[in-house]
Amino acid sequence: MFGELCVKCKGRLWCGLPKCPILEAAKNYMPRLKINPGDIFGLSPPSIFVGRFGYPNVLAGPLVSQSEDSSVIADTSNLYGKDLDFVMKNTSSLLRASIKVNVKKPYGKIIDATQEISMSTKPLDTEVQVEKIRMSPSLDTFFHPTGPLIIPRKVDVVDNPAIPRKVDNVVEERLKANKVIIELYNYGLSVDYIQRILSAGVLGFDKKLVPTRWSITAVDDAIGKYLLEKIRNYESINEIQYYSNSFMGNEFHILLIPGAWEFEMLESWLKGAIYSPGKTIIGEDYEPYSGRKKYADNITGAYYAARLAVEEHLESIRRQARVIIYREITPDYKLPLGVWIIRETVRHAMFGTPTKFDSIDSAIEYISKKVKVEEWKKKSKIIYEFKHQKTLFDFQN
């Protein structure tokens, strides 16, 4: 049963089973949390979660830590470089206080508190009166892991949120959500923050809740498309460059080739990695210069997170390129930690100094020595085109 479907589906239950057997098994790696009886007085980092099961009637609410330790991580960019124990300890200690709500009717005191928390840039003291606790922690391929689900009777924010004035303004203005995302990004707010307030339903015309999983890709994609509009006008890089980085069993090989923007991401789930227990599976998604219109179904959210990270680099050097990202997922990636892993690992790869090559063949040969699966280069559309498709430059005397 475990096969290509699992690699594409990543916990979306395409197999028809009531629970994803892979994710359920992976939960064994998560720490068992001791929950003190009674009501919870803790900090929200700040963080919220909006589920997608049962859409449009979903579970939504804040994430609250039991401890009052303010070092709990609010922004996933701070999780980069930490070890698995640290990441697990911090993320799965966050209790998911959630109530069932229709995404189009995000009203009520608990949702008000959720929205308030989403907009804050600093941790908030939060009090949760507990109705019921479900002990199982949660895993999601897009968001970081979280702790047990709590059905709250009441949620009180006993602190004043710190909301950037810019955010207050755009919330009032009722602009299109995509426009606001770009404005806030240019204002310097993090992808995590923008994703959080998008999912909380404070943006856009209709101000509805957006499942966390969808909001992550929506923000990566919206900013990515915006950066692309700029990048397409820049000169090309003038040499073949290779960047790499590895984090928690995710090994990235990034090739930038001179030419007009194109983007391709390939993934090998090595035998024994989370979604490919039985055999190695390779997936690929590609977009031409004009960009893509359909969802990147093979790579899914990782595609948009990786694309954004490379685009941020190209924007910073004001150049365009044809980009190939090859990701090998090793058995060290024991459980899905969220697409922030991809965004941050590629961002940090691009901070490094590239290795430069005279020819595509020498670059491929170099990369081949570093990877475990050779097939990626045969699956790459950009490499195939580069070798076979001539340009008019080749005939310009």
Closer of 12 and 381 to other proteins (Cβ): 381
Closer of 205 and 395 to other proteins (Cβ): 395
Quick count: other Cβ atoms within 10 Å of Cβ 57?
14
Q: Cβ 293 to other proteins, closest distance in Å?
A: 14
Q: Is 68 exposed, middle or buried (0-12, 13-18, 19+ CB in 10 A)?
A: exposed
How many residues of this chain interact with other proteins, rule: CB under 8 A? 16
Length of the chain: 397
Residues 72, 77: Cα–Cα separation, whole Å: 13
Closer of 229 and 297 to other proteins (Cβ): 229
Residues 180, 226: Cα–Cα separation, whole Å: 12
CA distances from 214 to 113, 147, 269, 309, 378 (A): 21, 20, 23, 18, 32
At position 69, the amino acid (one-letter code) is D
Q: Cβ 386 to other proteins, closest distance in Å?
A: 10
Closer of 28 and 397 to other proteins (Cβ): 397
Only one of the segments 47-55, 92-100, 196-204, 383-391 lies at the binding site for other proteins (rule: CB under 8 A); that segment is 383-391
| Binding of residue 359 to other proteins (CB under 8 A) | no
Q: Cβ 322 to other proteins, closest distance in Å?
A: 9
Q: Cβ 107 to other proteins, closest distance in Å?
A: 39
Q: Cβ 394 to other proteins, closest distance in Å?
A: 7
Closer of 24 and 374 to other proteins (Cβ): 374
Q: Which of residues 96-115 bind other proteins (CB under 8 A)?
A: none
Q: Cβ 377 to other proteins, closest distance in Å?
A: 12
Residues 41, 47: Cα–Cα separation, whole Å: 15
Closer of 169 and 290 to other proteins (Cβ): 290
Q: Which of residues 222-251 bind other proteins (CB under 8 A)?
A: 232
Q: Cβ 358 to other proteins, closest distance in Å?
A: 20
- Out of 18, 53, 83, 392, the only residue in the binding site for other proteins (CB under 8 A) is 392
Selection from 319, 339, 315, 314 nearest residue 329 by Cα: 339
Selection from 125, 124, 126, 150 nearest residue 137 by Cα: 150
Closer of 353 and 389 to other proteins (Cβ): 389
Contacts of 88 (CB under 8 A, 6+ apart): 29, 30, 31, 145
Question: Are 30 and 88 spatial neighbours (Cβ–Cβ below 8 Å)?
Answer: yes
CA distances from 66 to 69, 128, 140, 233, 310 (A): 9, 10, 21, 49, 37
- Out of 28, 36, 359, 391, the only residue in the binding site for other proteins (CB under 8 A) is 391
Q: Cβ 232 to other proteins, closest distance in Å?
A: 7
Q: Is 266 exposed, middle or buried (0-12, 13-18, 19+ CB in 10 A)?
A: buried
| Binding of residue 397 to other proteins (CB under 8 A) | yes
| Binding of residue 394 to other proteins (CB under 8 A) | yes
Which residues are bridge partners to 58 per DSSP?
Answer: 101
Closer of 223 and 257 to other proteins (Cβ): 257
| Binding of residue 395 to other proteins (CB under 8 A) | yes
Binding mask 252-271 for other proteins (x = CB under 8 A): -------xxxx---------
Residues 347, 345: Cα–Cα separation, whole Å: 5
| Binding of residue 396 to other proteins (CB under 8 A) | yes
Residues 44, 161: Cα–Cα separation, whole Å: 11
Closer of 170 and 323 to other proteins (Cβ): 323
Closer of 206 and 374 to other proteins (Cβ): 374
Q: Cβ 395 to other proteins, closest distance in Å?
A: 5
Closer of 238 and 397 to other proteins (Cβ): 397
Question: Are 215 and 296 spatial neighbours (Cβ–Cβ below 8 Å)?
Answer: no
Give pairs for 68-71: CB < 8 Å, separation 24+. 68/41, 68/42, 68/43, 68/125, 69/43, 70/43, 70/123
- Out of 289, 351, 356, 375, the only residue in the binding site for other proteins (CB under 8 A) is 289
Binding mask 182-201 for other proteins (x = CB under 8 A): --------------------
Q: Applying CB under 8 A, which residues contact other proteins?
A: 232, 259-262, 289, 388-397
